[in-house]
Structure 1
Amino acid sequence: MILQRTLKQAISATGVGLHSGERVRLTLLPAQPNSGIIFYRTDLPEPVAVKAEPLMVNDTRLSSTLVSETGVRVGTIEHLMSAFAGLGIDNLIVEVTAAEIPIMDGSAAPFIYLLQTAGIVEQTVPKRFIRIKQAIEVVEGDKWVRFDPHDGFQITLSIQFDHPAFNLAPQKVLVDFANHSYIEEISRARTFGFMHEVESMRNHGLGLGGNLENAIVIDDEFVLNPDGLRFPDEFVRHKILDAIGDLYIVGHPIIGAFSGHKSGHALNNQLLRKLLATPDAWEYVSFREAEDVPSSFHRIPDLE
């Protein structure tokens, strides 16, 4: 039986919110089977729980932000959710002392380290996957995203920036997780932004915590980070990291192929909402034997 996973013990870290610039303490705690990923704002007079679900994503300006019915926000969750997906974690409580998850180094790698340090354990309940049965697509101008049936999990994404720093590397990447490692090839890819956008973002209260330690920063010609890029195609790899996190907000690993062009948090969320609103396009599945699981999920790190 392929079982659900949670953490062995609680673990905490402190960082800065990318958009708010606030100092944030993040604590990850084990959760019961079938509870999913639940965020708690512990800085409020009464801690408020906000579950990671597609319909709770109500702000997608530069990140995926959960907004409760009473207006309680938990923002920039996509890198953390991406790490959960990469390690196959189903159930977790996430306590945070601000309206935003800390950005750490701009990738999912610090969260992977935190989770592996805490330890991951199997629970007594079968893991549930969502299997795509028919194509689902969302198109907005020249941007689009879609799911297709596929016996595994793969992502094909393309970006389009007419800029010297982007023209040096591929702007389209296909990652089939039957053959590629999330931890080694995706988790370390960092978020990026342009110098010319910084002033506008900060006028709107965004990007206040961004710097060369937690983002790739690009001027009119060059990457400004002294150590350069971690991968030649780090930009599009980060978009894949984001997409994995955005898609995991549905609460289950997806058996299918995801593809997109110039996609972002808003389109990714629209695709999940359309999928859930089309019952014939998907089904829940569980697996009694490990050999029955598509090979894409065999590369998720084993428990220690």
Structure 2
Amino acid sequence: MNRFATKQCTVGRVLSFTGIGVHNGKPSSLTIEPAAVDSGYAIRRKLDDESYSATMPLHHNRVSRTYLCTAVDLGDAGTVSMIEHMVSALSGMGIDNALITVEGNECPVLDGSAGKYVEAIVASGIETQPAEKMFIKIKRSVTVRSNDAFAALEPYNGRAFDVEIDFESDVIGRQRMIFDWSPKRYVDDVSQARTFGFIKDAKVLRQAGYALGSSLENSIAVDEGKILNQDGLRYEDEFVRHKLLDAVGDLALAGMPIYGKFRSYKGGHGLNALVLNSLFASEQNYEIVPASALPLEFDALEELPAGLELRGYIRSVG
């Protein structure tokens, strides 16, 4: 029996966020508004003169940079970077349509996870729309590689992520997470995982203009075999969970939710973008299908209680 809402969804009201960019260190604000059926995720910038740039689809073919984050090209309006956490929240919660407006050229990092976005979506309610959800169904496996790292999309009866990382760090090491998607599981198991970095890299990154807004308030800091954040980790394997969070956001740039399995080893934004390019290189790799044609077994959106207090899902270890 299909237990998941087969109708398209949007946010229940306008959501607003303010903060700083983790890389440029500058103030940034962002709004997410309800959008019409079949509009997908659309993005625009609010400019210095209070006008708005042209609204464009937030799509993989607009990805312009994948070093340390995902950035998209908005033509004459320049680029907007660090979009992956916000888009991960939308996709992870089953939102199909949204209008995103960014003031600045980087999305606010907030606490370094997707949790603040998810909390706002839950509080706003999720609006079901009068059109059927559409999925990109994987018909043929595609794989991209870089040395021993890889990312792949494969046929699978569901929406699954199998993400593995391997760092030469006693704190991180080798971690793997296999995740069968549902909105509730995304809230519980993924949404609170924060971005992370190594103190040994901080000076070089800042000299290059990155991580200027990074702090213990928005990142996990790893230094010589220890975690510097006073409260420790939210999940024991928070590092791989954040990589999975990023993958959910990056793959949402396909334009529709993917029905299939994503696998990666030592992956990141670059390979995530490349595997989408490979997928769409041939129409033999995929087909567009309505939700009613799929044997979906996801948890219903209605299982999320109104006003869910996400802090109850944080576990501190170490």
Give the structure-1-normalised TM-score: 0.93
Change (3 A) 1:260 1:285: same
Looking at structure 1, the residues matched to 230 and 160 of structure 2 have their Cα atoms a distance apart, in angstroms, of 33
Name the CA shift for 1:66/1:44 in 2 (closer, same or farther; >3 Å): farther
Question: Is the Cα contact below 8 Å between 1:152 and 1:178 reproduced in 2?
Answer: no
What SS does the corresponding residue of 2:107 show, helix, strand or coil?
coil
Aligned to 1:294: 296
Instruction: Select 1:204's aligned residue among 189, 205, 208.
Output: 208
* Residues 174-189 of structure 1: pairs in structure 2 closer than 5 A: 174-177=178-181, 181-189=185-193
Cα deviation for residue 300 of structure 1 reads 4.5
Distance 2:301 2:220 in 1: 27
Q: Name the counterpart of 2:21.
A: 17
Determine if the alignment matches structure 1 residue 97 to structure 2 residue 97. no
Counterpart pick for 2:164 among 151, 158, 170 = 158
Query: Does residue 262 of structure 1 match 2:266?
Result: yes
Match of 1:39 among 37, 43, 48: 43
- Inter-partner Cα distance in structure 1 for 2:93 and 2:225: 36
Partner of 1:61 in structure 2? 67
Shift in alpha-carbon separation, 1:54–1:212, aligned structure 2, 3 A: same
Shift in Å at residue 51 of structure 1?
2.1
Q: Please list the CA deviations of residues 165-197 of structure 1 after superposition, one character each: whole Å capped at 9, or x if unmatched.
A: 114xx5122112379811100111110000111
Would the aligned equivalents of 1:33 and 1:124 in 2 still touch at CA under 8 Å?
yes
Q: Amino acid of the residue matched to residue 296 of structure 2?
A: P
Q: What's the counterpart of residue 256 of structure 2?
A: 252
Identity in percent:
35
Q: How much has 1:8 moved relative to structure 2?
A: 2.0
> Counterpart of 1:73?
79
Q: Which runs of 4+ in 1 moved over 6 A?
A: none
Q: Kindly indicate whether residue 261 of structure 2 is the aligned counterpart of residue 232 of structure 1.
A: no
Asked whether the 8 Å contact 1:52–1:249 carries over to 2, the reply is yes
Equivalent-residue separation in structure 2 for 1:215 and 1:14 (angstroms): 17
How many residues are matched?
A: 299
Partner of residue 118 from structure 2, selected from 112, 124, 129? 112
The answer to whether the Cα contact below 8 Å between 2:23 and 2:214 also exists between their aligned partners in 1 is yes
Per-residue CA deviations over 1:59-100 (Å, capped at 9, x if unaligned) read 111001001233611110111111111111111111111101
In structure 2, the CA distance between the partners of 1:179 and 1:86, relative to structure 1 (3 Å rule), is: closer
| AA of the residue aligned to 1:155 | F
Structure 2: runs of 5+ lacking an equivalent: 307-318
SS in 1 for 2:244: helix
8 Å Cα contact 2:183/2:299 also seen in 1? no
Aligned equivalents of 1:30, 1:302: Cα separation in 2: 21
Q: Determine if the alignment matches structure 1 residue 131 to structure 2 residue 137.
A: yes
CA-atom RMSD in angstroms: 1.9
CA deviation string 1:142-175 (max 9, x = no partner): 11000110000111111111111114xx512211
| 8 Å Cα contact 1:86/1:300 also seen in 2 | no
Aligned-pair CA distance for 1:293: 4.0
**Whole-angstrom CA distance in 2 between matches of 1:282 and 1:44:** 41
